[in-house]
Structure 1
């Protein structure tokens, strides 16, 4: 499927109370520094786009990775007409959503209020837009630019140069985005700006808070070139110069080619067109994040702005990624579909460490300190075990050990409660919230450190950290089968309510958050009493009513309502802690339960505006669906292996760098929920897992489905 067949509005019908993805319809190039999204109501804050409303406020240059993080260094562009600028009109348009084009490489909107057709094609650092005023009714027309925070501007002979500062809470509160913009037929005499009190000024320069600029033109067809930079004004000019010789169509083709390069790495033949559409739409989401935070200087060498030292430095740097979410699916898919990306990303994460003293946890654009643990460790370990970027591993291992051993500097950096964790072997609930999740994630990080050390033949270090990775078991209550919070005195916190959310667990209850020892599922199963007890617990998890107590949240949060709405028991596939749960049955010898559950969960996804069962989170949920369709899943990414599930398509070809992998499924009917047989390169295969290397070495994987479970699936 090509990018022009994909509508980017998947998962965009949302509110703070209910998420169908909490996505924005991003137009841009893969991993671009900026994205562009239609704004229908800026008064809704982070939820500024609703797919069904005809209101049109313009196209927003955005850096918002999630509504829960918010936007920064953004602006709004719109083609408008006005009669008398001294009396500010209502600059709000109207469009027909079902007639607009929402593609990653091309936005096309007809605003029937201002009678202007807007087309935009994105680039890595900017865009080209065309405003075709098809009926001029008022005295003036041109481009409106709106800013929510501080902006400084100066008109040039062909447009405007700007600096936008609207980032709050990061290392540099004055983080600045420099913008260079040109428009054809620029009419400086009739251009100016409104201040935040709607007073009109005719001037060639200015600054202030929440300004609105009007750039008049004497042409009915306006071509606009725009480029941005976080580095400085000179770099913004260079980024614009590299864009200036292109036209809209040429840039649209360049952007489409970049998308199609990634989409073409998977070819599907199947009799479920809706499922194919959903798969490729999820692939679009997969290649959006992380975003670049580096630029190319005059010598085409990477440079970036270091928000910590507030200086310009050389090297790669990436942003807008929460590794608690993306480490579970996104980077594992990159290792299969686009392994050439991982050395660059890892080098960027190493840059973050070099400049802050800690590996990143949640970047937007610098460290936000969101979510438990430090699961970038998982991405590093997974890459090491898969033989990717081995030249970086000595430095990355040192960074992992250093980041995870130093006392927390503040809530953003380091292991929170590390002294207590080292003393007690768990995070105490009477001192820290979400203690169960922090404990599990620290244990998994220790395992990841051991994995990297093992790859580097540092056996003593590997053994040390593998031993430390068992500390999560200090929270296991074998009587209830849950990981439970403990206080500093070593006693379990009382009272214990399995479906109580928050306080001791992250965005869930004990049901969803007791099984995230990704690295030691067999050890967890043994400690709980063996495969049957573990299977019984998982079965209960699936069949227990999706009840919840608001607990520490003291209100219904959207994850609770999403779990209850779909009624898949306590399997809250709407959030990351549940992603691996369906595959845990395979560890108990009941692969048939994994198969039927995964096939049922796939029904919660589609390519529409309500296409996800919860927050999509930077490609992580899209990645879950892609894995669910391919028929395997990385329960423990750091082990470089996949638990087998059930494939969705009649035939899939994975186009790797040196050969094609053919995945064929016969008897692929909707009523067949179970894998009967599997062959790997023509040989019978009855294992529950497949290693990354086995997968990449394969030429043919053939699966046959059946109506009832076959005994072979229980081996």
Structure 2
């Protein structure tokens, strides 16, 4: 697959009320320090694919539109103009004559016969302006706050600031533009909008360098290559990422969907480091206000990405993933806690502390052995010392330590309680791996605290008061309040580390199976007493119509796989096939909900391969239902795994047989080490269920059973 086939408008047609991705159309390098897009409006959803006007090219660091208008820290807007649009700050453009691609953003302004092409570099870009009119220029403005400090000769210099930096030293993005044609005049149109006109020319090249460190670094990052050379370079880098998994299938639209998800899986986290003159990584420490050595990354929410993104990297991303983990360690060393939601520093958003799952998963899979002791140190710090500012790490750790759960007077108490238990288990995994047996045993015991939130009378996780009594008036469809982006239906099964223990709380497999059948077969009803209004995740569950399993949001990603724990994997196979076929596509409404930093894209990729990392921190991937005829997975260790699916037709909705290297397997899962050494994984689909395919006595990992 070639990156030129990707349309960056994938998943960008959204509203506040209903998300079909809530994505941005980014042009830039994988894990880029900057991305580029065009801005069509001035609200959180600053791009819409059907808009025919635009406000300029936007150099952006936006992690999500939910970060708000000030969430795009240190951004810059550049609007090219020619004679007919001089002085205007919002102009028509022709979407059908424009190019939206990860390697090239080309915008045609028909009224001016002005075409602007942007080719990204790792730390800058080249812009080429061509027009019939020789009176060309740029309007530079700032979505956040910034200033042009110089615009004369063949140089434009300025900076853009990070606003609302809580507890950090704000970032300052320096940018320098070298122009092929000298600046002729400069005037202020409106406050914050500077119009820079060039001397007469119909062909102008702008070379942009940026840095969070200094003007000198920004100058180092100004590209010198030709437009063709830069395009070839970024194309080669992207093709190397996309072709980590090669797909063959008789459905070309389905193949397009797969590769749009591959592209999105490599956008976040974004680089926040640069290379010094000797080729070593350096970054700006936002807590001390100084430059330090080492890697740093940002724009990542672990509540979303821990479940799928990093398990995917552990399979196929051998180059960047160790650097990313080192960057997270640097965030811990400089910020005091392992990060939760980086944008650009840790803002502490969302419940739990699910970076612990990432660190446990990386440890089990030996991604960066040299960092494992530091992983454990940081995990223990969050688990024992509550942040005085009640933002970072486990911000309700004192209550959790006292009660064994988070009391009901704390927002999202149930999800925090369950996520803290998961983190305790993750700590036990890393401790065990490092030979710290007593510590591992201590945290395995702590991990059983999820039981404190289970109300056997109603069969759900329920908020509990400080008096030890469950909250009255419980409804399993009541969203918000005690739960995060869902109700108890979506939250009760958030114990991937111990499903067997949860089964025991239900009184056995029969009762548990009855509950998860109801989970899928119930109507997608909800009430919003906890929120007071309908949030988009609830609307998406209703719109997508897969019962109480809301594939449009991360807490439901693993729910179809619950049936594997009661020997009923064939219950989930049609569900997975229908979800992947009906809820995802390569278009502007490509997702069933928020894509969120690669999390939903990575979920799609795993499901496509026919297996899923049900519990990051274990070495198991549960078999699901493959989507494609043939896949070649280029693993990070250099091996190639071939996946084939026989009888891959719409009416074949069940998994009839699985073979590893020609040998039939009856386990409902495959281990990481098996994946890394297997040459052939062959699936055969069937018209009817095959209860004998997987051995009911072989059950995936659970804490209680091991």
TM-score by length of 2: 0.95
Tell me, in whole angstroms, the C-alpha distance in 2 between the residues paired with 1:217 and 1:252.
27
TM-aligned CA deviation for residue 40 of structure 1: 1.2
Q: What is the correspondence of 1:428-467 to structure 2 with a 5 Å cutoff?
A: 428-430=407-409, 432-467=410-445
* Paired residues of 2:146 and 2:158 also in contact (CA < 8 A): no
- Choose from 212, 216, 223 the match for 2:205: 223
- Alpha-carbon deviations, 1:82-125, whole Å to 9, x = none? 5898xxx3232222223321110011111113321011111111
Instruction: Give unpaired runs (5+ residues) of structure 2.
Output: 697-706
Range that drifts further, 67-76 or 572-581: 67-76
* Paired residues of 2:645 and 2:684 also in contact (CA < 8 A): yes
Q: What is the correspondence of 1:147-296 to structure 2 with a 5 Å cutoff?
A: 147-148=142-143, 149-172=145-168, 174-188=170-184, 190-196=185-191, 210-240=192-222, 243=223, 245-296=224-275
Tell me, in whole angstroms, the C-alpha distance in 1 between the residues paired with 2:319 and 2:554.
26
- Alpha-carbon deviations, 1:148-191, whole Å to 9, x = none? 32324212421211011142243346431100111111223x22
Find the counterpart in structure 2 of residue 73 from structure 1.
74
Range that drifts further, 227-236 or 277-286: 227-236
* Paired residues of 2:186 and 2:194 also in contact (CA < 8 A): no
* Paired residues of 2:152 and 2:182 also in contact (CA < 8 A): no
Secondary structure, in 3 states, of the residue corresponding to 2:497?
helix
Find the counterpart in structure 1 of residue 700 from structure 2.
none
* Paired residues of 1:179 and 1:227 also in contact (CA < 8 A): yes
Cα 1:711/1:126, change in 2 over 3 Å = same
Q: What is the correspondence of 1:488-527 to structure 2 with a 5 Å cutoff?
A: 488-527=466-505
Find the counterpart in structure 2 of residue 64 from structure 1.
62
Give yes or no for the alignment of 1:3 onto 2:14: no
Tell me, in whole angstroms, the C-alpha distance in 1 between the residues paired with 2:441 and 2:318.
28
TM-aligned CA deviation for residue 568 of structure 1: 1.1
Runs of 4+ in structure 1 over 6 Å off: none
- Choose from 498, 507, 529 the match for 1:551: 529
* Paired residues of 1:38 and 1:59 also in contact (CA < 8 A): yes
- Choose from 507, 515, 528 the match for 1:529: 507
Q: What is the correspondence of 1:109-148 to structure 2 with a 5 Å cutoff?
A: 109-136=107-134, 140-148=135-143
Tell me, in whole angstroms, the C-alpha distance in 2 between the residues paired with 1:187 and 1:123.
24
* Paired residues of 1:546 and 1:564 also in contact (CA < 8 A): yes
Tell me, in whole angstroms, the C-alpha distance in 2 between the residues paired with 1:497 and 1:509.
8
Cα 1:124/1:170, change in 2 over 3 Å = farther
* Paired residues of 2:414 and 2:482 also in contact (CA < 8 A): yes
- Alpha-carbon deviations, 1:10-29, whole Å to 9, x = none? 10001211111000000000
Cα 1:556/1:84, change in 2 over 3 Å = closer
- Choose from 396, 402, 409 the match for 1:417: 396
- Alpha-carbon deviations, 1:352-386, whole Å to 9, x = none? 11101100000000011110111111111101101
Tell me, in whole angstroms, the C-alpha distance in 2 between the residues paired with 1:556 and 1:56.
31
TM-aligned CA deviation for residue 195 of structure 1: 4.4
* Paired residues of 1:591 and 1:713 also in contact (CA < 8 A): no
Tell me, in whole angstroms, the C-alpha distance in 2 between the residues paired with 1:443 and 1:671.
41
Give yes or no for the alignment of 1:678 onto 2:658: yes
Aligned residues: 689
Tell me, in whole angstroms, the C-alpha distance in 2 between the residues paired with 1:272 and 1:195.
51
Q: What is the correspondence of 1:615-630 to structure 2 with a 5 Å cutoff?
A: 615-630=594-609
Tell me, in whole angstroms, the C-alpha distance in 2 between the residues paired with 1:152 and 1:144.
11
Tell me, in whole angstroms, the C-alpha distance in 2 between the residues paired with 1:696 and 1:583.
22
* Paired residues of 2:137 and 2:195 also in contact (CA < 8 A): no
Tell me, in whole angstroms, the C-alpha distance in 2 between the residues paired with 1:171 and 1:702.
52
Tell me, in whole angstroms, the C-alpha distance in 1 between the residues paired with 2:182 and 2:571.
65
Find the counterpart in structure 2 of residue 313 from structure 1.
292
- Alpha-carbon deviations, 1:267-299, whole Å to 9, x = none? 111111111100010000000000000111111
Instruction: Give unpaired runs (5+ residues) of structure 1.
Output: 197-209
Cα 1:514/1:217, change in 2 over 3 Å = farther
Tell me, in whole angstroms, the C-alpha distance in 1 between the residues paired with 2:549 and 2:364.
30
TM-aligned CA deviation for residue 266 of structure 1: 1.1
Secondary structure, in 3 states, of the residue corresponding to 1:350?
helix
Tell me, in whole angstroms, the C-alpha distance in 1 between the residues paired with 2:220 and 2:195.
24
Cα 1:91/1:496, change in 2 over 3 Å = same
Tell me, in whole angstroms, the C-alpha distance in 1 between the residues paired with 2:614 and 2:458.
23
Q: What is the correspondence of 1:318-357 to structure 2 with a 5 Å cutoff?
A: 318-357=297-336
* Paired residues of 1:590 and 1:713 also in contact (CA < 8 A): no
TM-aligned CA deviation for residue 234 of structure 1: 1.7
Secondary structure, in 3 states, of the residue corresponding to 2:127?
strand
- Alpha-carbon deviations, 1:242-267, whole Å to 9, x = none? x1x21222111111111111111111
Range that drifts further, 604-613 or 13-22: 13-22
- Choose from 687, 694, 697 the match for 2:674: 694
- Alpha-carbon deviations, 1:577-615, whole Å to 9, x = none? 101001111111110112111111112000000000000
- Alpha-carbon deviations, 1:601-653, whole Å to 9, x = none? 11200000000000000000011111111000011010021010011111111
Tell me, in whole angstroms, the C-alpha distance in 1 between the residues paired with 2:559 and 2:123.
39
Cα 1:306/1:341, change in 2 over 3 Å = same
Tell me, in whole angstroms, the C-alpha distance in 1 between the residues paired with 2:524 and 2:175.
49
- Choose from 471, 477, 492 the match for 2:449: 471
TM-aligned CA deviation for residue 312 of structure 1: 1.4
TM-aligned CA deviation for residue 531 of structure 1: 1.4
* Paired residues of 2:85 and 2:112 also in contact (CA < 8 A): no
* Paired residues of 1:502 and 1:508 also in contact (CA < 8 A): yes
- Alpha-carbon deviations, 1:636-684, whole Å to 9, x = none? 0100210100111111111224321111110111011100111111111
* Paired residues of 1:308 and 1:355 also in contact (CA < 8 A): yes
Find the counterpart in structure 1 of residue 646 from structure 2.
666
Range that drifts further, 444-453 or 154-163: 154-163
Tell me, in whole angstroms, the C-alpha distance in 2 between the residues paired with 1:500 and 1:533.
23
Find the counterpart in structure 2 of residue 710 from structure 1.
690
Give yes or no for the alignment of 1:382 onto 2:364: no
Tell me, in whole angstroms, the C-alpha distance in 1 between the residues paired with 2:431 and 2:320.
23
Tell me, in whole angstroms, the C-alpha distance in 2 between the residues paired with 1:545 and 1:619.
29
For the aligned residue pairs, the C-alpha RMSD in angstroms reads 1.5
